[in-house]
Amino acid sequence: KELQLDACYFLWNLSKTSDENKLAAARAGSIKSTLNVMSKFPNDEQVQEIAVVVLANLCQVEEIQLSISELDGVKVIIQAMAIHHKSIYVQESSCTVLNYLADHSHSMKTNINAARGCEQISIAMVENDNLGFLHKALHAICAICADHDENKLSAINCGIIDSIVSAMQTHRDEADIQAAAALTFMNLGLSEATAPMIGENGGIDVMVRAMR
């Protein structure tokens, strides 16, 4: 384990630098190795935290986003979210990765939802009220559901409306959270099937309150 941790810390430092270094790391096999480490130590919170941070840094390059998806990284990341649902580092970095992947293509949005990504984000939002995490979680849900009516409905069925309403109520004076939540509700409400569901579950009240 110590070897894997040291390697992940090295990749973490490297991945904070230039895109050239990110690509060099990816081409050397760092994506596959990082996902293998996560799969080998699924219950080790320290390993999962640093490994997901590495992926969050690397996936800022579009070419690497595709590699993560092709290596079943979505399933590994969402599994980490499920096991370490109270780790802010795991949750926040996972949402960063899922956001980038969802922005990449429609098919990646579908894959994230199929792997229960919306469900895990919704659960984590209820269990963690950290501002940084909630901000990333809201943007991830927005990206996953953008131009994807099936994902919108799935997210709502997973309880995302309650999670967003709770975040807005808990952080009424946090402009960034209110703005991110409003953007997410706007996105979710673009479908004729889902718009009424937002109103039925308290979305209207918190949105009107945020406007004051």
Which pLDDT score, from 0 to 100, does residue 66 have?
Answer: 93
From first CA to last CA, the distance across the chain in angstroms is 52
The predicted model gives 96-110 an average pLDDT of: 97
The predicted model gives 5-13 an average pLDDT of: 94
Which pLDDT score, from 0 to 100, does residue 46 have?
Answer: 96
Closest by Cα among 131, 42, 59, 71 to 102: 59
Closest by Cα among 26, 106, 28 to 68: 26
Residue 117: pLDDT band with limits 50, 70, 90:
very high
Assigned token pair, 170? 């808990």
Q: Is 209 helix (H, G, I), strand (E, B) or coil?
A: helix
Q: What is the distance between the alpha carbons of residues 103 and 97, in angstroms, rounded to a whole number?
A: 10
Considering only CA atoms, give the Rg of the chain.
17
Overall residue count recorded for the chain in this entry: 212
The predicted model gives 10-33 an average pLDDT of: 95
Q: What is the distance between the alpha carbons of residues 85 and 123, in angstroms, rounded to a whole number?
A: 8
pLDDT digit string (tens) for 161-178? 999 999 999 999 999 999
Q: What is the distance between the alpha carbons of residues 195 and 152, in angstroms, rounded to a whole number?
A: 10
Which pLDDT score, from 0 to 100, does residue 136 have?
Answer: 97
The predicted model gives 184-207 an average pLDDT of: 92
Residue 113: pLDDT band with limits 50, 70, 90:
very high
Which pLDDT score, from 0 to 100, does residue 165 have?
Answer: 96
- Per the prediction, the chain carries an average pLDDT of 95
Which pLDDT score, from 0 to 100, does residue 211 have?
Answer: 86
Which pLDDT score, from 0 to 100, does residue 1 have?
Answer: 82
Q: What is the distance between the alpha carbons of residues 60 and 184, in angstroms, rounded to a whole number?
A: 22
Is 212's pLDDT higher than 90? no
Q: Is 212 helix (H, G, I), strand (E, B) or coil?
A: coil
Single-letter code of the amino acid located at 98: L
For tokens 């009516």, the residue is: 149
